[in-house]
Amino acid sequence: MRALLVVNPAATTTSARTRDVLAHALASDLELEVAETRYRGHARDLARHAAEGGETELVVALGGDGTVNEVVNGLLTHGPDPDSHPRLAVVPGGSTNVFARALGLPNDAVEATGALLDALRDGSERTIGLGLAAGTPGSEDEGAPSRWFTFCAGFGFDAGVVGRVEQQRERGKRSTHALYVRQVVRQFMGEARRREGGITLERPGATEGSTEVVEGLAMSIICNTAPWTYLGNRPVYPSPRASFDSALDLFALSKLSAPAVTRYATQLLASTPQRGPHGKHAVSLHDLTDFTLHSQAPLPFQMDGDHLGLRTSVTFTGVRRALRVIV
């Protein structure tokens, strides 16, 4: 099998030694090419060329969730086609590695490599669904390019936290869970619209041609799988029913007052695969194929932990059976 190993040397827990051990192990079973990323978007370009070339059967991503996101977007440049596109394999090399862990892979590069080799020898794979986000037609963001995400997106509060974390990392700070907690507090203190939400949800209604509208949302998290993220080894489940086998789930809050945030943050930390946050200010929707989020004021937007700037409107699509993954 001809394979491409895409390595992000700047990923948090990726090193030259990890790369060499992984490449040596994979080369024993595969006809392997190794490529290191040199700029933002390079993993996407490498994966796109591999898919367009028609000879590569497998692309292995060694890095964090951002690297995986780029590889997926490269593989799906011309749309989803799991029967003809190269398969994807992931070896975790970032700080959190949500996608790899949600697939059930070990959160250790060496152990994950062993699991990957076993899966390749056994022919073990699955086809998963993905989320797609695009600029909304008729809005000022209609020209925003479409982009796939593997496990989550956020519009509003959580995306603002991601943006703050990225700023700190650019200043040399390490990506730690303590860093995220500090930025959550700072985002909350600086949130001008936390008491009255400015996000509107629109989705197809129960009858043909109708639209269901939910107004006054203060934050929104879109999940393609569960968990949404991890705090250390603790999984966090705002949408416990989210799955790679269904479309998208939405969790939103209509109020971000201090008591409400304290209540729902406590519920998030105690969430399980059976029960997520709940209450009069919580909105939980399951298996959404198409919906749009609007805001009068530009809000932060993120996908798979990558801050993408400010948007006023984003249209989401849940696409089942979009990509084959080795597990």
The whole-number pLDDT of residue 196 equals 62
120 pLDDT more than 80 = yes
Tokens 């011309």 — which residue?
A: 78
The pLDDT value given to residue 237:
97
Q: Is the pLDDT of residue 187 over 90?
A: no
Q: What is the pLDDT of residue 177?
A: 66
Retrieve residue 286's tokens: 């399951």
How far is residue 244's CA from residue 279's CA, in Å, rounded to a whole number?
A: 26
Instruction: Give the residue-averaged pLDDT of 190-201.
Output: 73
CA terminus-to-terminus distance, the chain: 16
Q: How much is the pLDDT for 176?
A: 67
Q: What DSSP designation does 228 have?
A: S
Q: How much of the chain exceeds pLDDT 70, in percent?
A: 97
Strand 31-36 vs strand 2-7: parallel, antiparallel, or unpaired? parallel
Residue 58 clears pLDDT 80, i.e. is over it: yes
Report pLDDT digits (tens) over 256-276: 888 888 899 899 989 999 999
How far apart CA 231 and CA 101 sit, in angstroms, is 13
Q: If you average pLDDT over residues 112-135, what whole number do you get?
A: 95
**Which band of pLDDT confidence, cut at 50, 70 and 90, is reported for residue 310?**
very high
Beta strands in 10-122 (DSSP E): 31-36, 58-63, 87-92
Higher pLDDT, 28 or 133: 133
DSSP state letters, 154-173: EESHHHHHHHHHHHHHHTT-
The CA–CA distances, whole Å, from 207 to 199, 257, 291 equal 24, 35, 15
Average pLDDT value over all residues in the chain:
91
- How deeply is 186 buried, as exposed, middle or buried, from its count of CB atoms within 10 A (0-12, 13-18, 19+)? middle
Specify the DSSP class assigned to residue 275.
Answer: B
Q: What are phi and psi of 67, to 5 degrees?
A: -65, -45
Q: Are 82 and 322 in contact (CB under 8 A)?
A: yes
pLDDT in the model for residue 170: 72
Q: Of 3, 49, 8, nearest to 26 (Cα)?
A: 3
Collapsing DSSP to helix, strand or coil, 206 comes out as coil
- Return the ∠ at Cα 284 (arms to 280 and 290), rounded to 5°: 140
- Two structure tokens written together for 276: 């997520």
pLDDT beyond 90 at 318: yes
User: Could you write out the three-class secondary structure of 80-110?
Assistant: CCCCCCCEEEEEECCCCCHHHHHCCCCCCHH
- Residue 122: the pLDDT is 95
- Alpha-carbon torsion angle 129, 90, 103, 178, nearest 10: -110
Cβ pair 325, 126 in contact under 8 A: yes
Amino acid of residue 72: V
CA distance 154 to 70: 17
Mean pLDDT of 67-85: 96
